[in-house]
Amino acid sequence: MKIPSPKILVAEGWKDYALLDSGDGWKLERVGPYKFARPEPQALWRAQSNPEKWQVDARFSPAADEAEEMGRWRTTRPIPESWPIKYRDIAFHARCTPFRHLGFFPEQASQWMWANEHIRPGSQVLNLFGYTGVASLMAAKAGAQVTHVDASKKAIGFARQNQDLAQMQDAPIRWIADDALAFVKREARRGRKYDGIILDPPKHGRGPNGEIWRLDEQLFDLLSSLRPILADRGERPTFVIATLYALRLSHLALTRTLADALDGMGGEIEAGEMALREDKSDRLLPTALFARWLRR
């Protein structure tokens, strides 16, 4: 399968989120009515203003062992446990988590919109490592029947809260707490097929039964395991979207792995980086790698 030239996807269409500044290892963001400062290892350039003087409602302080990406938020005014925001016509909760995340990843908006372009009424979509379920809600809103899988029961609880906030209680979404790789292999044995698969695997983690996940050792196995559950060529497009936040990998490594895993299935791959644009400037902050495959 031919490896394409890289693309840069910039998330557009946000009203409740903005990247205000970045640099000196930090990023300044607005999420709804609140402003946050978070460490950002890819922001190697100079910020437009001194990060130490940013007027924020909360600043994330990493723990001593940054390998775990844990720490604490230091607030300057009360912030609720969660608060509602919206992308397009889908509402969901933002929240300050101990893993420095804010309950969603704004750069993923470019993938949500691309998936929706290829979803048809009745499309079967599998969202692996689905986290708080925003991609699942977007796909269901576009007409898909969604299977959402995450190893964390707590994350699935947050996803269900998002479903309620979006007033999509009747949306055809199955919420499943399971190890992603084990689930995919069981689906293959069951003969299940999906028109679209979305996955955002972490660098490392554990399944609900103690299963160990290591991205650098198991990514090819996971991507190869998608082959038997991808729908055969038919009236609906078939797609895979893979995104990675593992900084030491490259988009080429992800693309080559996906291309080898789906070799012989036809279709086309595109890949590159996802980014956020600073408000009122043209500076881009790289956030993640992506590779996606489409067969029409």
Q: pLDDT at position 71, please?
A: 87
Domain span at residue 130 reads: 7-295
* DSSP output for 59-117: EEEE-S-GGGT-EEEEESS---S-EEEEETTEEEEE---TTS--SS-GGGHHHHHHHHH
* DSSP output for 240-273: EEEEE--TTS-HHHHHHHHHHHTTTS--EEEEEE
Q: pLDDT at position 37, please?
A: 98
Answer whether residue 111 is part of any domain: yes
Q: pLDDT at position 247, please?
A: 62
Strand 238-244 with 212-214, pairing: unpaired
Break the chain down into helix, strand, coil percent, rounded to 5: 25, 35, 40
Q: CA gyration radius for the chain? A: 19
For residues 196 and 123, is the Cβ–Cβ distance under 8 A?
yes
Strand 204-206 with 212-214, pairing: antiparallel
Q: Which residue has the tokens 């103690």?
A: 210
Q: pLDDT at position 248, please?
A: 67
Structure-token pair, residue 214? 């290591």
Answer whether residue 87 is part of any domain: yes
Q: pLDDT at position 152, please?
A: 93
Answer whether residue 176 is part of any domain: yes
Q: pLDDT at position 46, please?
A: 95
Q: Which residue has the tokens 């299963």?
A: 211
User: Which amino acid would we find at residue 194?
Assistant: Y
Structure-token pair, residue 247? 């900084």
Is 0.85 surpassed by the pTM of this model? yes
For residues 112 and 131, is the Cβ–Cβ distance under 8 A?
no
Q: pLDDT at position 252, please?
A: 84
Q: Please, what is the angle between helix 153-165 and helix 134-141, to 10°? A: 40
Q: pLDDT at position 208, please?
A: 78
Answer whether residue 1 is part of any domain: no
Answer whether residue 245 is part of any domain: yes
Answer whether residue 2 is part of any domain: no
Angle at 203 between CA 239 and CA 125, to 5 degrees: 25
Q: pLDDT at position 237, please?
A: 95
- Given a cut of 70, the residues of the chain with pLDDT beneath it are 64-69, 247-248
Query: What CATH number has the domain bearing residue 227?
Result: 3.40.50.150
Q: Give how many domains the chain has, as a whole number.
A: 1
